Amino acid sequence: MDILTSTLGIAGKIESLITNAKNDVYLISPYIQIDKNEETKWESFSRVIRTTLNKNIPVHVYARKDDEQSGKKLLEKFKEFQGTKLTLHVVEKLHAKLYYNKDEALICSLNMYRSSLDANHEIGVVIKRSVDTPEKMEEIENFIHIVDEDSESLQFENERQALKEKSEKTLDKIENVQFLVLSKGYKWFKVLTPDGYENKILVEGASIKEGKNYIAKAKLIWNRTAYGVNVELTGLHDIVEVNGYCIVCRKPIKAAKADYPMCYDCNKAKDTSTARPQFCKRCGQRAEGITPARPLCPECYAREARF
């Protein structure tokens, strides 16, 4: 555990934490200011966030919701990142400042705001997975889950339009949905569906686990908020654990062997078929470089250590 008492040192640690991330980055700061003024440190934060996103690493930003305009202001600040793997969230009564990747976390008093850097006295504590006890990182991860559970997700205008068009096709439709469980909060599970959406679901009386794939009958609910449309899966029933997706056709794999990368039909026809592997076995999303020997996309390989 390292203690930082220099404001510039804390800002530099946030920057390196973003730059050196190998998987998801979480930036939790009640007040955030990202601008293009080269005289400020925050311009470099914008640059390192862009660099990390260009490496296909998701960045998740959480800010305080003081009023109904908070979400719109946050979207405006990050509008240059539309179409990337940046997610934005607002949280009522958020006061914590936490910056995290899988390898280390910074808990500090510093907001990602210009006045904090220019005038304030700040202090921070760095916790490293390789040095400190695993329980400390687990407690931090549990806190992130709680914040995420209480958050409201935001969407940019083009994302809202895409969700609106999809909702018109699937409203009130009950269908088979396959999903990968990413994390478990106090009441909700966060799951990933093959279309790339991260959804929150409430599953009562069902035993589902992180890192596992399931298929179930569900109703898609498209909730409109002041900031856009949130997708939820509700009314889940007939929940069955499966062993991921076929890397060729994306059908659920129900074979007993957990690491089997193809369904029965595709495996049987592999010597004569022209179809090639193109889907991640764990999340079902299309990805480059998928093979029977390497059936996971880069994001799912990064999640392996967590599961």
Whether the per-residue pLDDT at 227 is higher than 50: the answer is no
Nearest residue to 295 via CA among 248, 254, 252:
248
Taking only the tens place, the pLDDT of each residue in 3-17 is 988 888 898 899 999
Q: Quick: pLDDT tens for 194-212.
A: 666 666 666 555 577 888 8
CATH of domain 167-242: 2.40.50.140
Please tell me the least confidently modeled range out of 24-28, 112-116, 172-176, 251-255: 172-176
φ, ψ dihedrals at 138, nearest 5° = -65, -40
3-state secondary structure string, the chain? Answer: CEEECCHHHHHHHHHHHHHCCCCCEEEECCCECCCCCCCCCHHHHHHHHHHHHHCCCCEEEEEECCCCCHHHHHHHHCHHHCCCCEEEEEECCCCCCEEECCCEEEEECCCECHHHHHHCCCCEEEEECCCCCHHHHHHHHHHHHHHHHCCEEECCHHHHHHHHHHHHHHCCCEEEEEEEEEEECCCCEEEECCCCCEEEECCCCCCCCCCCEEEEEEEEEEEEECCEEEEEEEEEEEEEEECCECCCCCCECCCCCCCCCCCHHHHHCCCCCCCCCCECCCCCCECCCCCCCCCCCHHHHHHHCCC
Closest among 252, 297, 303, 257 to 278, alpha carbons compared = 297
* Structure-model confidence comparison of residues 250 and 258, the more confident one: 250
Among 19-33, 48-62, 80-94, 181-195, name the one with the lowest average pLDDT.
181-195
Longest dimension (CA), the chain: 69
- pLDDT recorded at residue 99: 96
> Where does the pLDDT of residue 229 fall: very low under 50, low under 70, confident under 90, or very high at 90 and above?
very low
Residue 256 has pLDDT above 60, yes or no: no
Tokens of 12: 């530099």
Look up residue 274 and give its amino acid: T
Tens digits of residue pLDDT in 124-167: 999 998 887 778 888 898 899 888 878 888 877 666 555 555 54
Percent of the chain with pLDDT over 70: 73
pLDDT in the model for residue 149: 79
pLDDT, position 157: 65
Q: Average pLDDT, stretch 225-248?
A: 67
* Mean pLDDT, rounded, for 251-280: 77
Say whether pLDDT at 171 is over 50. no
Dihedral sign for Cα 210, 214, 218, 222, please.
Answer: positive
pLDDT band at residue 46 under the 50/70/90 scheme: confident
Mean pLDDT of the chain: 78
The answer to whether the beta carbons of residues 35 and 114 sit under 8 Å apart is: yes
Instruction: Show the tokens assigned to 99.
Output: 């910056």
- Distant-in-sequence, close-in-space partners of 168: CB < 8 Å, separation ≥ 6: none
Report the pLDDT value the prediction gives residue 288, as an integer from 0 to 100. 83
Of 66-80, 151-165, 196-210, 227-241, where does the model show the most confidence?
A: 66-80
Query: Is 259 a residue whose pLDDT tops 80?
Result: no
Residue 100 has pLDDT above 80, yes or no: yes
What local confidence, expressed as pLDDT, does residue 150 receive? Answer: 84
Query: Right CATH number for 2-154 from 3.10.20.90, 3.40.50.300, 3.40.50.720, 3.30.870.10?
Result: 3.30.870.10
Identify the pLDDT of residue 224: 46
With 80 as the cut, is the pLDDT of residue 55 above it? Answer: yes
Closest-CA residue to 122 (of 5, 15, 9): 5
d(CA 31, CA 203): 33
Q: What is the pLDDT of residues 102-131, one digit of tens each?
A: 899 999 998 887 666 666 788 999 999 888
Give the domain ranges of the chain: 2-154, 167-242, 244-307
